[in-house]
Chain A
Amino acid sequence: MRDVILPGSLNELWRCFEDKPQAAVYAGGTDLLVGVRHGLLNPEALICLDRIEELKGVGERGGSIRIGSCATHVQLLDDPLITSHLPVLWQAIRGIGSPLVRNMGTIGGNICTASPAGDTLPPLYALRAEVELGSKEGSRRMPIAEFIMRPGATRLQRAEILAGVWVKKPGEYNLHHFEKVGLRNALACSVVSMAALLRLAPDGAVEKASLAWGSAGPTIVTCPEAEEALIGKPLSTEPLQEAAALVRKAVSPISDVRADADYRRIVAGNLLLRLANVLK
């Protein structure tokens, strides 16, 4: 059996990487330990970030919110900065796995697993979040869409970790919406999901839109054409149908055990149509 190491600080973590440069890193273990057990990966050691206080918690700096990578889903559901400023993220986290998985799993793990079905990802793309990567050499930041390369692959270098996520407070949006279609309510990997941030004028016309879809392509899908198509129009059937047609062109879903590609393509558009019901 391999060693499981629990560094108590970032400085200890960098030393662990010197001893075990090929170690795999985890926090909650809800993805990685399942993969190790099933033989999908065989790292020389495991480093658990659970005891590093610097990686936990949610804070505010200027107009931005920083979420520590090792904040668990349940901590984020209880956090006033998330509930008051990031309801779209809150709604997505609420449907992750089960209460037990949310007690253990972290936002950093959900991002680094880099699954197109990762439920925090559509909101983070729609929010134009940036990831903060840390290593012995220092830290660097990049947009989340650049960080995630393809299913399971990120731009993390060896001996580098995801330290946090930065989101500008999205004060310009007055409607936050996330919906996931799964085969059941709990413990369900998403079949298709959508995060929507909208600013509606007093007369109901869309002034600004940011949209992102999960499980609809190899990484999260955005569709600027659909966003543009909605500008100046109300969330009624006709403009939503027009935008949904653009979405169905933009997605590139696969067929798997949960659904086939055609179904996903239709549902990706339908999730947008359902915005008409959100205001009712």
Chain B
Amino acid sequence: MRISFYLNGEETHVEVPSERRFVDVLREDLGLTGTKESCGAGECGACTILVDGQARLSCLMAAAQLQGRRVTTIEGLAADGSLHPVQEAFIEYGAVQCGFCTPGVVLAAVHLLDRNPDPTREQIREGLSGNLCRCSGYVKIVDAVEAAARKMRGGTPQ
């Protein structure tokens, strides 16, 4: 099946079986290995991507579902060469240990801050509760998202 969608801002066409999981299209067909797979069942968040701005699990989407959608992967977040404020904050606060969960956590955080630019720590924890970090580095992740939120609010003229 020929599927056309926007990937990180660019019109993209792939010829893949309609049932192929989107995470496999990204990693294996398009070579974008920033998106990770861990559980394959929607319980870990490693494969999180943004579809039309909303955080979704790419392991639970058939390729056919992407037709016409706008997809952002971790590679697209800094497509112009400058890091997103969430990525900058993750570096500044040391919110990365092994890094495997990080692409998913960062994209979930971007969606969270889009919905709620001024979350409490509890709301950040809740908003990221679908993304598991097995290095157990949640405190620094919450610190980083809090800092990114502050920076993003400050950077937006009211």
Q: Which residue numbers of A lie inside 8 Å of B, CB to CB? A: 1-6, 28-30, 33-34, 37-38, 46, 48, 50, 74, 97-101, 103-104, 185-187
Cross-chain contact B127 with A99 (CB below 8 angstroms):
yes
| B17, B43, B67, B127 — most chain A CB neighbours (10 Å) | B43
The answer to whether A187 touches B64 (Cβ under 8 A) is no
Q: Name the residue of chain B whose CB is nearest to the CB of A48.
A: B65
- Chain B contacts to A: CB under 8 angstroms: 17-20, 40-43, 45, 48, 54-57, 60-65, 67, 108, 112, 126-132
B131: min CB distance to chain A, Å: 8
How far is B62's CA from A6's CA once the two chains are assembled, in angstroms? Answer: 11
Given contacts A4-B65, A98-B130, contact A104 B19 (CB under 8 A): no
B62 to chain A, nearest CB (A): 4
For the complex formed, measure the closest distance between the CB of B108 and the CB atoms of chain A, giving whole angstroms: 7
Q: Is the CB of B19 within 8 A of A29?
A: no
A100 and B19 within 8 A (CB): no
Residues of A contacting B65 in the complex (Cβ-Cβ under 8 angstroms): 4, 6, 29, 48, 50
Assess whether B57 is in contact with A104, with CB atoms less than 8 Å apart: yes
Which of A29, A98, A99 interacts with B62 by CB under 8 Å? A29
Tell me the nearest residue of chain A to B54, going by C-beta: A103
Report 23 cross-chain contacts, Cβ distance below 8 Å, ordered by A residue. Answer: A1-B18, A1-B20, A4-B62, A6-B64, A6-B65, A29-B61, A30-B42, A34-B41, A34-B60, A46-B19, A46-B62, A48-B65, A74-B54, A97-B130, A98-B45, A98-B130, A98-B131, A100-B56, A101-B57, A103-B56, A185-B129, A186-B130, A187-B43
- B67 to chain A: which residues have CB within 8 Å? 6
The answer to whether residues A97 and B64 also contact, given A46-B19, A187-B129 and a CB cut-off of 8 A, is no
The 10 closest A-B pairs by CB, nearest first: A98-B130, A186-B129, A100-B130, A1-B17, A4-B64, A4-B18, A4-B62, A1-B19, A29-B60, A34-B41
Interchain CB contact under 8 A, A48 and B64: yes
Max chain B C-beta neighbours (<10 A), residue from A4, A34, A37: A4
Contacts of A4 in B (CB 8 A): 18-19, 62-65
A89 to chain B, nearest CB (A): 19
Residues of chain B within 8 A (CB-CB) of A3 are 18-19
Q: Give the distance to chain A from B120, nearest Cβ to Cβ, in Å.
A: 15
Q: Closest Cβ of chain B: how far from A105's Cβ, in Å?
A: 9
